[in-house]
Structure 1
Amino acid sequence: MLDLLPGKDDPAPPSGTRGLRLLPLRGVRYVPEEVGGLAAVTSPPLDGVVPRDGQAPAHPYNIARLILPQADTAEARRRQASGTLRAWLAEGVLASDAEPALYVYEQSRGALVQRGVIGALALSPPEEGVVLPHEDVIVHVLEERAALVRATAAHLEPVLLSYRGTVGPAGATSVVEWATARPPLLVTTTEDGFHHRLWSITDPADVGEVADHIAGHQALIADGHHRWATYLRLQQEQTVTPSPWDYGLVLLVDTALYPLQVNAIHRLLHRLPLSEALAAVGDSFRVRRLDTSLAPAMAALEEAASTGNAFLLAGDGSYHLLDSPDPALLARTMRQDRPADWRALDAAVLHETLLAQVWRIPDAADSIAYIHDAEAAVAQAELHDATAVLMHPVREEVVHDLARRGVTMPRKSTSFGPKPAPGLILRSLEDMCPSPE
């Protein structure tokens, strides 16, 4: 299993590969004087599997108008996003920075501080073992994202990648920390209470030092599997090489210095009332009703999950803890072509056993919503006579170990964070910085 103890490095990429190659880019950013404040034009991270609510953001220049345009058809949404982006660039609402840079990005809230480096990363397929996915993607979401990027010729959000560097104020770390001592390019605070700051590194020697440090590591896709898969798909469509499509916009975070948080993603089963969900489960799991509030119910879930598969169902004003699944049921319903530690995942048991076999629910947008906030999932279930399935987060070392072995987890198994705020930096695919080769 991958060693994640402090002070340990990620293993180098497999021999014969070039490793992580990070290039500077001319970031496309909002012009604050034109939008009246950055907080109003940023957006919470948007998830392509959450149903559209049909409501456009209040601010006319909010980044959500590009990432999640509202129109009746897919083609209209693509045309709208493309036209909007070009209009904002022409009007000076968005502008490219004057010179290529790597960008140091900081997020902080209370005692939590996370810093990383934003740049254009050379693409590499999973089999090269340089950038490791850990979750499956949803085909229709991938197709929609690819169509949007194809239409706009822009990367609208960075992929969040994690790697584990060397602990200590040496090498690229000193360059990054030195950059934060200077006045930032931007400062803003978003609705979730996070403070955001951005700096640029433009000196070629400093850029090279950061890039050389990062090159010696593997990276895990912490957030943005669909964006990374989109990068790879659109690269394959190009007939000219090299091209801007050979690189993707990423945020690289050294988790030896700034550990990411790992949270669960909960499920809302639109068409399944809780009473029917419990009846279908029967005695295939141990079921305990918890007449309590959310916090102690989640604590009970954490305790149960420490010894085996466990889920918390909600939707009737109380909570129902499911654990101790029938081994015969698991043996009959779980995939046997996956390793034992994959079959032990809560998300795997949920999708393979409960959703597919016990509840007979297809994994489609009209049947399941993926919600990051447990309280919101419970509220929606109670409001619509549905079932919320609350999950306990998987351990980070399990994610890394499966990814290193090329085993992907079920979709939406984890939520790494904090995620970068959309709208602070974009990348135009019509602006190619010089290649170092």
Structure 2
Amino acid sequence: MATFKPFKAVRPLPEYASEIASLPYDVMDSDEARIEAQKHPLSFIRVEKPEVDLPPEIDLYDPAVYAKARENLYRYLQEGYMKQDEKPMYYVYREIMNGREQNGLVGLVSVDEYMSGVIKRHELTREDKEQDRIRHIDACNAHSSPVFLTYKHQDSINEVVERVKKNHAPEYDFVADDGISHSLWLIDNPEDIEVIQKSFAALDCLYVADGHHRTASAAKVGLLRRQQHPDYTGEEEFNFFMAVIVPDNQLKIYDYNRIVRDLNNHTVETFLHLVEDKFEVTKLPAVRVFRPTHKHEIGMYLAHSWYCLRPRYGTWDASNPVASLDVSILQNNLLHPILGIVDPRRDKRIDFVGGIRGLEELVRRVNSGKEAVAFVMYPTSVDELMRIADAGEIMPPKSTWFEPKLRSGLFIHLLE
């Protein structure tokens, strides 16, 4: 069974929601965050990336950064921009991007179920990034931004969500600077809460969609608090962490593309010759950009030209759900053996560009001479993600890019 609990969120007062809501910490750098904070003085980026209120030269892992995050978080409460709900409830969080609607339920999931594998992951995490989030959660004594989970859609849950949206006015309803619409409804009716709780309890598992570091860190803070409170009962707030759970049939995964700094001492001609050993290579004259239209088709931009790469028969294991991913095929047949990218998680020669930034960004960077070659991937599917998680396997890094991103600051879970 999957535990999903209502909770008493700390939330912005409706008149401040649009100014407080911010992108999550991991989709902008410090300079971009400072611009955001200047444009929107109430932006929750001051909690997500609190270095915006500290000297630019400060080490991002300095204790003062985490102390500032806590100070900024509780200032919202002290100055009356936020307050905590008086009773536990669920929240419907709807986002609309380019006409496509995504409805998530906001509630709490279980630390124990993450540790036992009921909440299934599909990516590895990095220790340094985990430690950063652990220190942030611990200092704030709160989950300041949600993790993003998915589940195999259930009619019983969807019926409650749609009825609440139809019959009640939203608490928040605004369009952010990027054109994405954000709306929030409250689910405080005991009968609706019971239906949602029982429907999730009937599920075998939940899946991490996005936010593996936040998920792992939230669980580890829960375990840390248990050590600090050896008489814990299991019902304390620190035994749970905040999640937005979206049904699988409403998710959209975008391409997550690769760009490499150099050709590993190969000339363009030698590089193309090596690639042709494992891929059918078709040069595409007179195209501005090329986006693959189906699985096992990869776009490549090199020396002011676009190419279509199709892996040759036998270059991957079709029976293996990880090996048959296009990102794996590219890694195993080109990035590693030809370009020398052994560990894409740590190699500084490779970078990853979410498809939402557009293919023109890849062209610009290669044409600038700072990068040598870019690869455009066909998006991983939600079914592939679930099959890999069900098999207990791990995807290569940067296999999925989800949009729209969940905004931070619309709901916060206090650990005490």
TM-score bracket relative to the smaller structure: 0.7 to 0.9
Alignment equivalent of 1:200, drawn from 183, 186, 193: 186
SS state at 1:22 partner: coil
CA distance in 2, matches of 1:114, 1:274: 45
What is the percent sequence identity of the aligned residues? Answer: 24
Alignment equivalent of 1:220, drawn from 207, 213, 237: 207
Contact 1:260 1:418 in 2 (8 A): no
CA distance in 1, matches of 2:325, 2:2: 30
Aligned position for 1:39 = 18
Shift of 1:103: 0.5
- Residue 26, structure 1, aligned to residue 8, structure 2: yes
1:76-91 counterparts in 2 under 5 A? 76-91=64-79
1:32-181 counterparts in 2 under 5 A? 32-33=14-15, 35=16, 38-47=17-26, 52-53=30-31, 55-56=33-34, 57=36, 58=38, 59-70=40-51, 72-73=58-59, 74-75=61-62, 76-109=64-97, 111-125=99-113, 128-167=116-155, 171-180=156-165, 181=167
SS state at 1:313 partner: strand
Aligned position for 1:385 = 370
Contact 1:274 1:385 in 2 (8 A): no
CA distance in 1, matches of 2:113, 2:311: 39
Unmatched 5+ residue regions in structure 2?
none
Aligned position for 1:394 = 380
Residues 245/126 of structure 1: CA separation in 2 closer, same or farther (3 Å cut): closer
Contact 1:312 1:321 in 2 (8 A): yes
CA distance in 2, matches of 1:45, 1:315: 33
CA distance in 2, matches of 1:277, 1:80: 49
Alignment equivalent of 2:407, drawn from 402, 405, 421: 421
Aligned position for 1:247 = 240
Shift of 1:271: 5.6
CA distance in 2, matches of 1:424, 1:278: 52
Contact 1:223 1:419 in 2 (8 A): no
Shift of 1:177: 2.4
TM-score (norm 2): 0.83
Residues 401/383 of structure 1: CA separation in 2 closer, same or farther (3 Å cut): same
Contact 1:120 1:249 in 2 (8 A): yes
CA distance in 2, matches of 1:380, 1:425: 37
1:354-365 counterparts in 2 under 5 A? 354-361=334-341, 362-363=343-344, 364=346
Across the aligned residues of Structure 1 and Structure 2, the Cα RMSD in angstroms comes to 3.0
Aligned position for 1:15 = none
Shift of 1:360: 2.1
- Residue 210, structure 1, aligned to residue 196, structure 2: yes
Contact 2:133 2:214 in 1 (8 A): yes
**Partner amino acid, structure 2, of 1:400:** M
Contact 2:103 2:250 in 1 (8 A): no
**Partner amino acid, structure 2, of 1:320:** Y
- Residue 234, structure 1, aligned to residue 221, structure 2: yes
Residues 146/191 of structure 1: CA separation in 2 closer, same or farther (3 Å cut): same
CA distance in 1, matches of 2:375, 2:363: 9
Deviation by residue 1:112-135 (Cα, 9 ceiling, x = unmatched): 222221011122455744211122
**Partner amino acid, structure 1, of 2:13:** V
- Residue 371, structure 1, aligned to residue 353, structure 2: yes
Aligned position for 1:312 = 299
CA distance in 2, matches of 1:234, 1:278: 52
Deviation by residue 1:186-212 (Cα, 9 ceiling, x = unmatched): 111113322211111123332122111
Aligned position for 1:4 = none
Contact 1:131 1:220 in 2 (8 A): yes
CA distance in 2, matches of 1:60, 1:273: 45
Shift of 1:45: 4.3
Aligned position for 1:5 = none
TM-score (norm 1): 0.79
Alignment equivalent of 1:341, drawn from 293, 301, 321: 321
Shift of 1:151: 1.8
Shift of 1:404: 0.8
